[in-house]
Chains A and B, each alone.
Chain A
Amino acid sequence: MKRTAFTHFHEELGAKMAPFAGYYMPIEYTGINNEHTVVRTKLGVFDVSHMGEFWAVGPKAFDFVQKVTSNDVAALTDGKVQYSCFPNDQGGIVDDLLVYRFGDEKYLLVVNAANIDKDWNWCVKNAEEMGLKIGEELINASDDIAQLAIQGPLALKAMQKLTEASVEDMEFYTFKEITFAGIENVLFSTTGYTGAGGCEIYVNNEDAVKLWNAVFEAGEEFGIQPIGLGARDTLRLEMGYCLYGNDINDTTSPIEAGLGWITKFVDGNDFIMRSHHQKLKEEGVEKRLKPFVMIDRGIPRQHYEVVNEAGEIIGEVTSGTMSPMMKQGIGMAYLNKGYWKSGTEIYIKVRNKSLKAEITSLPIYKA
Chain B
Amino acid sequence: MNIPADLKYTKDHEWIRVEGNHAFIGITDFAQGELGDIVFIEIETEGEELAKEEVFGTIEAVKTVSDMYMPVAGKVVEVNEALADTPEAVNNDPYGEGWMIKVEVGNPAELEELMNADQYKESIEG
A232-267: CB near B (< 8 Å → 1, else 0) gives 011000000000000000000000000000000000
Min CB distance, A322 to chain B, in Å? 4
Chain A residues near B37: list those with CB within 8 A: 31-34
- The answer to the question of B62 belonging to the interface, with a C-beta cut-off of 8 Å to chain A, is yes
Contact of B36 among A16, A298, A301, A321 (CB under 8 A): A16
- The answer to the question of A153 belonging to the interface, with a C-beta cut-off of 8 Å to chain B, is no
**B62 close to A298 (CB less than 8 A):** no
**B58 close to A230 (CB less than 8 A):** no
**B65 close to A301 (CB less than 8 A):** yes
- The answer to the question of B49 belonging to the interface, with a C-beta cut-off of 8 Å to chain A, is no
B49-64: CB near A (< 8 Å → 1, else 0) gives 0000000001010110
Closest to B60 in A: A299
**A297 close to B62 (CB less than 8 A):** no
Chain A residues near B88: list those with CB within 8 A: 33
* A interface, over-half SS: mixed
Min CB distance, B64 to chain A, in Å? 9
Closest to A28 in B: B36
Min CB distance, B40 to chain A, in Å? 6
- The answer to the question of A26 belonging to the interface, with a C-beta cut-off of 8 Å to chain B, is no
**B58 close to A322 (CB less than 8 A):** no
**B36 close to A297 (CB less than 8 A):** no
- The answer to the question of A324 belonging to the interface, with a C-beta cut-off of 8 Å to chain B, is yes
**A324 close to B62 (CB less than 8 A):** yes
Using A31-B36, A31-B37, A297-B40 as known contacts, say yes or no to A230 and B65 having CB atoms under 8 A apart. Answer: no
**Docked pose: A367 CA to B65 CA in angstroms:** 28
Contact of B40 among A31, A32, A230, A322 (CB under 8 A): A322
**Docked pose: A321 CA to B39 CA in angstroms:** 10
**B40 close to A234 (CB less than 8 A):** no
Chain B residues near A33: list those with CB within 8 A: 37, 39, 62, 88
Contact of A230 among B42, B63, B84 (CB under 8 A): B63
**A234 close to B62 (CB less than 8 A):** yes
**Docked pose: A234 CA to B37 CA in angstroms:** 12
Chain A residues near B42: list those with CB within 8 A: 298, 351
**Docked pose: A32 CA to B88 CA in angstroms:** 12
Min CB distance, B67 to chain A, in Å? 10
Min CB distance, A349 to chain B, in Å? 13
Min CB distance, A71 to chain B, in Å? 31
Min CB distance, A357 to chain B, in Å? 15
**Docked pose: A34 CA to B65 CA in angstroms:** 20
**B62 close to A322 (CB less than 8 A):** yes
Which of B39, B42, B91 has the most chain A CB atoms closer than 10 A to its own CB? Answer: B39
**Docked pose: A230 CA to B35 CA in angstroms:** 12
Chain B residues near A321: list those with CB within 8 A: 62-63
**B36 close to A32 (CB less than 8 A):** yes
Min CB distance, B37 to chain A, in Å? 5
Chain A residues near B40: list those with CB within 8 A: 297-299, 322
- Excluding A230-B62, A321-B62, A351-B42, 10 further A-B contacts by CB distance (< 8 Å) are A28-B36, A31-B36, A32-B36, A230-B63, A234-B62, A301-B65, A322-B39, A322-B40, A324-B62, A351-B58
User: Which 6 pairs, one residue from A and one from B, show the smallest C-beta to C-beta distance?
Assistant: A322-B39, A32-B62, A33-B37, A31-B37, A32-B37, A299-B60
Chain A interfacial positions (CB closer than 8 Å to B): 16, 28, 31-34, 230, 233-234, 297-299, 301, 321-322, 324, 351
A-B contact pairs, 22 of them (CB 8 A): A28-B36, A31-B37, A31-B91, A32-B37, A32-B63, A33-B37, A33-B39, A33-B62, A33-B88, A230-B62, A230-B63, A234-B62, A297-B84, A298-B40, A298-B42, A299-B39, A299-B65, A321-B62, A322-B40, A322-B60, A322-B62, A351-B42
